Amino acid sequence: MPKIPQKTLLSRLGQPLILVLLLTGAALVLLPLLIVFLTSLTPTGMTTPGSLLASVPTLESYKEVWRRGGFLLAFANSTFVALAVTGCQIITSALAGYALARLKFRGRPVILLIVLATLVIPFQILVIPIFLVLKWGHLVNTYGALILPTAANGFGIFLLRQYFLTIPVELEEAAALDGANRVQILWRVMLPLARPALVTLFLFTFIGEWNDLFKPLIFTTRPELKTVQLALAGFQEQFTNNWSLLMAAVVIATVPVVLLFLIGQRQFIQGIASTGIKN
C-alpha cells in the first residue's frame, strides 16, 4: 500500500479544518443579525425569551417605524450627503493619488507623509476648529456642514496612489504618444483601470457617511437636516423598551448599506487585494 506523503496528508486535513473555522466565524457574526431580524418580526410586547419562535411573524413593527420615525426624510438626507461626500472624495483622491504616484516634484515624499499622518488623527480632535471655520463661512446648519469636513480623506488618497502604482507606465506613455495630456490620461486610462479601487473607496466612504452620527449631531440642529442615524437615535430615546420597534428601526437603517456591500463585494475584494505597500 503506497504511503501518503506527510505534507499531502496535512493539507487534506487542513482544508476541512479551515472550512469549519470559517463557518464558525460566519455563524458568530450572523447570529446577532438573525436575532435582530427575528425580534423585529415579533409582535409588540412579546419579546420575552422564547417568544421569538412562539409568536407569528409580522411586519407591523416596520410599518409603525416608518410611519412614526420620519425615516423618509432621513433616508433622503443621508443618501444625498453620502453620495456628495463620496463623489468629492473620489475626485480629490484620484487627483492627489495620481499626482503622488506619477508626477515628479520636490517635496512629494513629505506630502505623502503628511497625508499618511492625517490617518492617525481622530476627527473628534478637529471638531472645534472645523466648527469655527463652518461658523465663519455661515455653513452651520446647512448641507455644507455635513459634506465639506470630509470632502477629502487621506485614506482615499493613499488607496488610489497605491493602485495607480500597479498600473504599467507603458500604458501612459502610449497614450501620451497619441497626444493625450495628463488629464486625459487620468480620465481615459488610469481611472477605468482603477475601477476596483474606486469601488472600494466608494463603499468605504458611503457606508462611513451613512453610519455617521457625530457630524449631524454637532454641526446641525434643524429637523429638516436629520439623517438616518439621528432619526435612529431619536427613535431609540422615544421607544426605549419596545424592542420590536427598535430592532425594526435598526434593520431599516442597516439594509441599504448591506445591499450596497453585497453588490460591490467582488470589486471591493479585488481592490483591497491589489493595493499593497509600494514605493
What would the pLDDT profile of 114-148 be if each residue is shown by its tens digit? Answer: 999 999 988 889 999 999 999 999 999 999 999 99
Q: Tell me the whole-structure pTM to 2 decimals.
A: 0.84
Which of 245, 215, 244, 212 has the alpha carbon at shortest distance from 229?
212
SS3 content of the chain, % helix, strand, coil (to 5): 75, 0, 25
Q: What is the pLDDT of residues 58-114, one digit of tens each?
A: 788 888 888 887 888 999 999 999 999 999 999 999 999 999 999 888 989 999 999
Contacts 24+ apart (CB under 8 A), 60-67: 61/244, 61/245, 61/247, 61/248, 62/248, 62/251, 62/252, 64/245, 64/248, 65/235, 65/245, 65/248, 65/249, 65/252, 66/252
Q: What is the pLDDT of residues 218-231, one digit of tens each?
A: 999 898 999 999 98
Q: What is the pLDDT of residues 138-185, one digit of tens each?
A: 999 999 999 999 999 999 999 999 999 989 999 998 988 888 898 899
End-to-end CA distance of the chain: 53
CA–CA–CA angle 16, 19, 23 (5° rounding): 140
Spell out the domain ranges in the chain.
Answer: 72-274
Instruction: With beta carbons less than 8 A apart as the criterion, state whether 41 and 58 touch.
Output: yes
Instruction: State the CATH architecture for 72-274.
Output: Orthogonal Bundle (1.10)
pLDDT-derived band at 40 (thresholds 50, 70, 90) equals: confident
- What average pLDDT does the chain have? 84
